[in-house]
Structures are given as structure tokens and as C-alpha cells.
A and B are shown apart, each in its own frame.
Chain A
Amino acid sequence: MTEMTGAEMVLAALADQGVEHIFGYPGGAVLPIYDAIFQQKKVQHILVRHEQGAVHAAEGYARSTGKVGTVVVTSGPGATNAVTGLTDALCDSIPLVVITGQVPTHLIGNDAFQECDTVGITRPCTKYNYLVKSVADLPRVLHEAFHIAASGRPGPVVVDIPKDIQFATGTYSKPKDFQHKGYRPKLKGDPDKIKQAVEMMAAAKRPLFYTGGGVINSGRAASESLRELAKLTGFPVTSTLMGLGAFPAADPQWLGMLGMHGTWEANWSMHDCDLMIAVGSRFDDRITGRLDAFSPGSKKIHIDIDPSSINKNVKVDLGIVGDCAHVLEDMVRMWRGAHHKPDKKALEAWWAQIGKWRAKNSLAYRNSNEIIKPQYAIQRLYELTKDRDTYITTEVGQHQMWAAQFYQFQEGNRWMTSGGLGTMGYGLPASVGVQLAHPKSLVIDIAGEASVLMTMQEMSTAVQYDLPIKIFIINNQYMGMVRQWQELLHGGRYAHSYTEALPDFVKLAEAYHAHGIRCEHPGELDEKIREMIEVKKPVIFDCMVDPAENCFPMIPSGRAHNEMLLGDAATRVEDAVTEEGKMLV
């Protein structure tokens, strides 16, 4: 219990919560907090170039460490610029505490300079938010914010602090003195239901684990229990975009990613299974495709910490509310305790069927000696970085899907991508956050040239803090996914998906005092990727690829998992999309 100003409380609370780095951008309404930052050494402030970048950097930091990411921005435009990042973090369940400055209490509602209704604007895009109206509440609010952000289904929490509260003096208290009055997320699953789930698994003939980002959020223990359970049962495993790495891609039981650009074997297994075990995944529309044809013959078990995820899109037979780590651990214990054995004969037949689907080799593409195929670029990147301590971030679009398909993740927290919101411009600032948390690791943003221009200014941040991030641009000169849909759905009328006047990315890198590399030929790819890895500076790697390449497999609009298209079928795609399909994104 010590007397201090509100601004000092912010820094004391950050330090007590174990925060080492905070991303931010100063402004009038947070000057007292910046003054407090200046006068301490425990928390290092990272100056970004735009508030959206601060939030994405904090997301990358959080996702790669499992810790809460933190941000400080000013009132008005500082707060509104943070909104995209907040929404992104909400969609992907990333724990953040975002501190926003606010005009002094007596001016709130007066349309003061740089005033906006921050709590009003951010209410639907945060897990929770606060406007602090008394310095006496500030320590409790700050500690609660960390607790709410990190516990249950994680998410972003905004703490809006008027400038007079930052100046006011009050008594600071440590985190242990507080407990939230009502918020108690349920961690342990109902044992009767878990027992029932395990019995359903023992009786299954064509079972499948369908895992998601919840397994990553739940931490290493969840990932380990998943691996153990898969080993015990011998069941196949697929995962959403957000869940990649929780189960090792090198494992023979791995089917690859599922969904709109998932593998043939993963999607057919989803369609034909008789028992689906969904773990920390949410039956998103990119996963289910056509709902009335989604896995029609299966019983479904759904494990999720958020009760509202269960029965939201797909009615399941058994919903278990709880933290994946706890529930999976209980499942392993109960499976062992009851001496359950999988139906070996049925499982053999199931794996034989999966083997046939695998034989389709659905990720196959026609490589070229003349032009770099984007898939080939990512494959080479993987081969040349797989034995290193590597973290991958992405932007959004074709390159993101190719990265998910071709980069093989063996561990969780190595893959940072904007899944739910699909935010172009996420990857570069996210890589800044990841590199800061892992200064000795190799951090690569697999980027598209259109996406990366949305937050390119964060190169300046990377240079300022000596963060040797590698921006690996799959440059096809198009907004590739938009172009692909226009080709398939809109008669090849490429409305505004071609970027005229792209910058010279090598010169751009040099302008930022970073290192630029251009690669235009498949033959020079390996050598230039090695150069990128060796350079001890931020690098922009401009990889010029085939501009016409499409991302397959693909479940087109209005279709079910068993109606997916393969690359070889590309010529037939146009006939396959219906008028109604064109209405969809």
C-alpha cells in the first residue's frame, strides 16, 4: 500500500503483472503515463508507427508467449486506430490489456479535443472494458483487466483512463488483494459428460479429432494431452487455421488443415466420420461450408471453454464446457482408467479409406523452372528454416493459405495469423511483437505485397529496436484471393485487385535502413533465402511469383466438404459456382 499518482499506478500494476514490454504511441491524454514510463526501468516501451500496429504487435507477443500483450495509446484517434486490432484479438481470443488515455473527467461528453466515446466504441470489440472515474478504483481495475484478459476464453480488455485520474494521487495495492466479484470461468469439465465422451470414442468406427485455436490458448499442457490422447486412441487429427502446431504436422495421424482451403483427406474425413471430437474449435463458416450438408452422419462432441460456442452454428450431441487442458487430461485419465481400446478393425478400415483420400495428393501443384510458384517458395522457405528456432506470422489472403498448407508446424505458439477477422496488415507488426519476445529466434512474416503495405510503416519500429524480422513477400502484384474469387465468380473481371504502381520493395527496405532482396527465378530462391536468414537486420524479401496461381483445394460457395475442387479441376471451377454463390465472400 503506497501513495502514488494514477500514472504511476499504471506502471506499478504492469510491473506487478509481469509485463516487460508495452507497445504504444504517445499523445496528449496519456502524457502523465509517458512521464511515468520515462521514470522507471522495469517496463520497456516500444514505440510503434500506428496504433493498429501496436495492438497487432501485442497480439504477436501474446500468441507466441502465452502471456498477456499490453498496449498504451492516447484518446480519440489513438483509441479508434486500435479498434481493428481489438476486434482481431477478440475474434482470435488473444489476451490483451489496452490502456487508452481519455480527456479529463469534467470534459467527457463535451466533444473535447481528441475525445471519443472509447468505451462505447470498444464495447462490442473487447471482452470487457472500463472507464476509470476515480483513482481509488484504478489499481483494482488494472489487476482485474489482466485477470479477465487471460482467464476463461482470453480476449482484449480496454482500460480508459481520463487524464485527471492519471494525475490524481491515491493508494496502490498489489494484485493479490483483489478477486473479481462475479466473473468465474469454468475450467473443469463435467466428469459425467467426459466419461460419456470417452465411451463414445471407444465405440467409434470412423472417429476424428477436429481441433482449434483453443488448444493453443489452453497452453502446452493441452497440446500434450491432445498428443497423448491421439496416441492412445489412434484417431486421425485435423485442425483449423488457428490450431496449427498443437498437433505435430510430422505425425502420421495428422491429416493437415481442414476447411475452405483444407486438404482433401481432412475435409472428406470430416464429412464421412461417425464421431467428431471438436476441441477448442468453433464450427466457423470457413470450416463447415454448407451447414445442412456438414458431416451428416456423425455424432459430435464439442469441448470449449465458452458455453456460447457450443450449439451456435452446429447442433452437437455432447457439449462439454471447460478448459481444453483440463478436459483432455481427464479424457486421457478416464480412457486409461476404464481400459478402453479403440475398435481396431474399424479403425484400420477407416485409415485405409483416409489413405485413399491422401493419395489424391490434394496440395499438388505444377511447378515451373521459369517462374516461382508461390507454393514452391513456401516449401523452400520451410525446408531452409525447419531446423531453426522459427516463428511464422502471416498477412491475409492466398499467401496465408499457402503458408498454412505448406509450412509444417510441430509445436504450438509458432504460428501467428489473423484467422477470425482476416486482417490484412496483421503479419508485419505481429512479427515485431514476436521478435521482441524471442530476440534470438528467426521470425518470418509470410506476406502478400498488398497486405504488407497496410502496415509497412512498422518496418521503422523493427529498425529502431534492432528486431531482425524477415518480411517474405509472395509478390504476385494482385490482391491474390480477391483476384482468385473474381476469376472464379465474377467472369474474370478483375475490379481493382491489381495494384498499379507497387513500390520497389528493395529500395523501400533500404529507405527504412533495412536490407532488401529481390528474387525472380526459382533457381536463385534457396541462395537468397539463405542470405535473408544470415543478414542480422530486418529484411524485406520481394519474391516475385506467378501472378495467375490459384489456391487449391477449395470448397466453393454453397458447397459441402465432399464437393471440394482440386487444382487439376481448375478449368471446371467456373461452371461449378452458382448464382447464389456469387453473393458470398
Chain B
Amino acid sequence: MSTSPATTHYPAAPTSERVETRTLCVLVDNEPGVLARVIGLFAGRGYNIDSLTVSETEHEKHLSRISIVTRGTPMVLEQIKNQLDRQVPVHRVVDLTTGSPAIQRELAMVKVRGNGKHRAEAQKLAETFDARIVDTTPDSYIFEITGASEQIESFISQMLPLGLVEVSRTGVVAIARGAEGM
């Protein structure tokens, strides 16, 4: 009688299930340790964080909004939402991927070094992407670009041959479309 490693006494890793990406918005009390609590939950339970942004959004109520982009199987993603939701300082967890349509944006600053033809090309490329020049020296630019993550990826990859030096990205922030608030 043989047993494959996938059917051992401990639950086997769900290898065959598809992995999806989700953007979650989490409304939390802005208190000391709340971010450590959320990050610790992801680290301790082995969940992925692709990006994470956090800032206080309602100052009078001391509420912060955390946007998390995460990956997992549908069962793991449900766990992530439930595990977040049961934390004491968490008010709400909203899935902006499967829920109502949402807008997701990221901001990046992209430093490019070069002269002559490359410099002109970089500037032209920035124009087509609606990126702004926020710093300039005789042989460098810093562009600021806002958009969907894929758009930023595309901008960065096209800047690569033109002298890309450094990138700083905020990670995704997201909000549901329409008149309803979270």
C-alpha cells in the first residue's frame, strides 16, 4: 500500500487549484501595531503580499485604509478575508476584484539617465504615457506616472533600454466605482 506525498496525514498543498490575484481593501483602527498585526497574519500563515499600501483616511475616527494585493487559491483567498475580518481592530474587508467594479491605481517615480537620442526618446515616451517630469538635470529625468499596474510595468520596461536607473512605486490603491462608499 503506497501513499503519495500529496496524501499524507497533514493536509496536502492544493497544487492543482488555480491561483488568483485579488485586491483587498481593509478598514482598520489606526492604532499602534495594527500594521504589524496584518503583516504578521500574512507572514505567520504563509500568505502572499504582492503590494501593500496604508494611510489614515479618516482622521477624526482614526481609521486607516490598507490596500493589499495578494495571490492564492480560492480557498486560501477566502481564508485571508476571514482571517483579516476577525481581527479586533479590523472594521471591514472588501474584495475589490470580485466585488463591484473598481478602479486600481499606482504611482511610480522613474529615474532615467542619458543624453542625446535616448533622452529625447525618454521624454517622448513619457508624453505618450502621460507621465510628468518632476526633476531634471542635464543628464537625467525623474518621471512621475500614475496608472494601472500593467501600464506602469509597460512604461518601466520601455524605459529600460533608455537608461533606467531607479524606480519607486507606491503599490496599488483601489476604490469601488459608483456612488456607494465602503
B3 lies within 8 A of A578 (CB): yes
A581 lies within 8 A of B40 (CB): no
- Residues of B with C-beta under 8 A to A576: 1
A131 lies within 8 A of B37 (CB): no
- Residues of A with C-beta under 8 A to B32: 131, 133
Min Cβ gap B84→A in Å is: 9
Residues in B1-49 with C-beta less than 8 Å from chain A: 1-12, 29, 32-33, 36-37, 40, 44
Q: Does B182 reach chain A (CB closer than 8 Å)? A: no
A120 lies within 8 A of B36 (CB): yes
- Tell me whether A293 and B7 are in contact in the complex, defined as CB-CB below 8 angstroms, given that A127-B88, A148-B88, A312-B79 are known contacts: yes
Mark each residue of chain A from 116 to 143: 1 if its CB lies under 8 Å from any CB of chain B, else 0: 0001100110011101010000000000
- Residues of B with C-beta under 8 A to A181: 29
The number of chain B residues touching the other chain, given as a range, is 20 to 34
B8 lies within 8 A of A583 (CB): yes
A182 lies within 8 A of B89 (CB): yes
Q: Does B124 reach chain A (CB closer than 8 Å)? A: no
Interface residue from A123, A182, A288 paired with B90 (Cβ < 8 Å): A182
With most chain A CB atoms within 10 A of its CB, the pick from B4, B8, B79 is B8
Q: Does B177 reach chain A (CB closer than 8 Å)? A: no
Interface residue from A128, A313, A557, A559 paired with B11 (Cβ < 8 Å): A313
Q: Does A111 reach chain B (CB closer than 8 Å)? A: no
Mark each residue of chain A from 312 to 337: 1 if its CB lies under 8 Å from any CB of chain B, else 0: 11010000000000000000000000
Interface residue from A128, A306, A315, A557 paired with B8 (Cβ < 8 Å): A557
- Residues of B with C-beta under 8 A to A580: 3-5, 8
Residues in A177-196 with C-beta less than 8 Å from chain B: 180-183
- Tell me whether A558 and B7 are in contact in the complex, defined as CB-CB below 8 angstroms, given that A123-B36, A315-B75 are known contacts: yes
Min Cβ gap A59→B in Å is: 21
Look across to chain B and name the residue whose beta carbon is closest to the beta carbon of A575. Answer: B1
Min Cβ gap B12→A in Å is: 7
A285 lies within 8 A of B9 (CB): yes
B79 lies within 8 A of A311 (CB): yes
- Tell me whether A308 and B82 are in contact in the complex, defined as CB-CB below 8 angstroms, given that A131-B32, A293-B7 are known contacts: yes
B4 lies within 8 A of A285 (CB): no
Mark each residue of chain A from 286 to 316: 1 if its CB lies under 8 Å from any CB of chain B, else 0: 0011111100000000000011101111010
Residues in A548-571 with C-beta less than 8 Å from chain B: 555-559
A311 lies within 8 A of B5 (CB): no
CA distance A76 to B3 in the complex (A): 46
Residues in B109-130 with C-beta less than 8 Å from chain A: none
A289 lies within 8 A of B9 (CB): yes
Min Cβ gap B132→A in Å is: 39
- Tell me whether A559 and B9 are in contact in the complex, defined as CB-CB below 8 angstroms, given that A123-B36, A578-B1, A580-B4 are known contacts: yes
- Residues of A with C-beta under 8 A to B56: none
With most chain A CB atoms within 10 A of its CB, the pick from B1, B9, B37, B75 is B9
B91 lies within 8 A of A182 (CB): yes
- Residues of A with C-beta under 8 A to B40: 123-124
CA distance A172 to B111 in the complex (A): 56
B79 lies within 8 A of A308 (CB): yes
Q: Does A584 reach chain B (CB closer than 8 Å)? A: yes
Look across to chain A and name the residue whose beta carbon is closest to the beta carbon of B88. Answer: A128
- Residues of B with C-beta under 8 A to A556: 9
CA distance A540 to B169 in the complex (A): 65
B79 lies within 8 A of A584 (CB): no
B75 lies within 8 A of A311 (CB): yes
Min Cβ gap B82→A in Å is: 4
Interface residue from A123, A182, A291 paired with B33 (Cβ < 8 Å): A123
B44 lies within 8 A of A124 (CB): yes
B8 lies within 8 A of A581 (CB): yes
CA distance A558 to B12 in the complex (A): 10
- Tell me whether A123 and B37 are in contact in the complex, defined as CB-CB below 8 angstroms, given that A128-B88, A306-B86, A307-B85 are known contacts: yes
- Residues of A with C-beta under 8 A to B51: none
Min Cβ gap A121→B in Å is: 11
Interface residue from B5, B82, B88, B91 paired with A310 (Cβ < 8 Å): B82
CA distance A576 to B79 in the complex (A): 34
CA distance A457 to B79 in the complex (A): 41
Look across to chain A and name the residue whose beta carbon is closest to the beta carbon of B14. Answer: A291
B86 lies within 8 A of A307 (CB): yes
CA distance A439 to B141 in the complex (A): 79
Look across to chain A and name the residue whose beta carbon is closest to the beta carbon of B80. Answer: A308
Q: Does B78 reach chain A (CB closer than 8 Å)? A: yes
Look across to chain A and name the residue whose beta carbon is closest to the beta carbon of B37. Answer: A123
B11 lies within 8 A of A288 (CB): yes
CA distance A291 to B12 in the complex (A): 8
Look across to chain A and name the residue whose beta carbon is closest to the beta carbon of B82. Answer: A308
Look across to chain A and name the residue whose beta carbon is closest to the beta carbon of B61. Answer: A181
- Residues of A with C-beta under 8 A to B11: 285, 288, 291, 313
Min Cβ gap A305→B in Å is: 10
Q: Does B57 reach chain A (CB closer than 8 Å)? A: no
Q: Does B83 reach chain A (CB closer than 8 Å)? A: yes
- Residues of B with C-beta under 8 A to A583: 8
A584 lies within 8 A of B1 (CB): no
A292 lies within 8 A of B37 (CB): no
CA distance A299 to B91 in the complex (A): 33
CA distance A555 to B3 in the complex (A): 14
CA distance A462 to B1 in the complex (A): 51
- Residues of A with C-beta under 8 A to B9: 285, 289-290, 555-559, 581, 584
Min Cβ gap A490→B in Å is: 15
- Residues of B with C-beta under 8 A to A119: 33
Besides the known contacts A306-B82, A315-B75, A558-B7, 20 further A-B residue pairs in the complex with CB atoms under 8 A apart: A123-B37, A123-B40, A131-B32, A131-B33, A182-B29, A182-B88, A182-B89, A182-B90, A285-B11, A290-B8, A291-B11, A292-B6, A292-B12, A307-B82, A308-B79, A578-B2, A578-B3, A580-B4, A580-B5, A583-B8
Q: List 21 A-B contacts (CB under 8 A).
A: A119-B33, A124-B40, A128-B88, A129-B33, A148-B88, A180-B88, A182-B89, A290-B7, A291-B11, A293-B7, A306-B82, A307-B86, A308-B83, A311-B75, A313-B11, A558-B7, A558-B8, A578-B3, A580-B5, A580-B8, A584-B9
Residues of A within 8 A of B (CB): 119-120, 123-124, 127-129, 131, 133, 148, 152-153, 180-183, 285, 288-293, 306-308, 310-313, 315, 555-559, 576, 578, 580-581, 583-584
Residues of B within 8 A of A (CB): 1-12, 29, 32-33, 36-37, 40, 44, 75, 78-79, 82-83, 85-86, 88-91
3 residue pairs, one from A and one from B, having the closest CB atoms: A308-B82, A558-B3, A128-B88
